[in-house]
Amino acid sequence: MVISYIQRLDIKKLFTVEVIEKKPIRSISQNRLYRLWLTCISFETGNDPDDLHDYFKRKFLEPEIICIFGVEEKKYTTTKLNTTQFKYYLDRIQAFAATDLQITLPEPESQNWDEFYKYYCDKL
């Protein structure tokens, strides 16, 4: 349909055509994993999970610059990350937890996942 539409355009006019691959936003399972990891880090460090979420966004994401009343502000959000971007974000948090906090954050495929999940899911 797109090619047919383009073929019908008036060639005397100028057009810009852009095709962008649409990637799905982060998955529900990624979000659940992230929340469980935040719970673990919170429990182990005493920091609030929402504060940790804000900290990691600022530490590992590029800000979106928005203008409010003529003033530029930095906005950090995970909401618009696709599954690949969110996986990269999770990988960075996992590495940070291991190196800086000495906390192991396993993934569901990991050998010790069941034990980890049972321990922290009640703390969500």
Domain hosting 66: range is: 23-121
Cβ atoms of 94 and 36 closer than 8 Å? no
pLDDT value of position 123: 85
pLDDT value of position 23: 67
Does the CA dihedral 104-87-109-35 come out positive or negative? positive
The structure's pTM equals 0.78
Domain count, the chain: 1
Closest CA to 123 of 69, 43, 4: 43
Q: Flag whether 4 is in a domain.
A: no
Q: Flag whether 97 is in a domain.
A: yes
Q: Flag whether 90 is in a domain.
A: yes
Residue 54's CATH number = 1.10.3790.10
Q: Flag whether 16 is in a domain.
A: no
Task: Please state, in angstroms and rounded to a whole number, the distance separating the CA atoms of residues 60 and 88.
Answer: 9
- Show pLDDT as tens, one digit a residue, over the chain (124 residues): 888 888 888 889 988 878 777 667 788 899 999 999 999 999 999 999 999 999 999 999 999 999 999 999 999 999 989 999 999 999 999 999 999 999 999 999 999 999 999 999 988 8
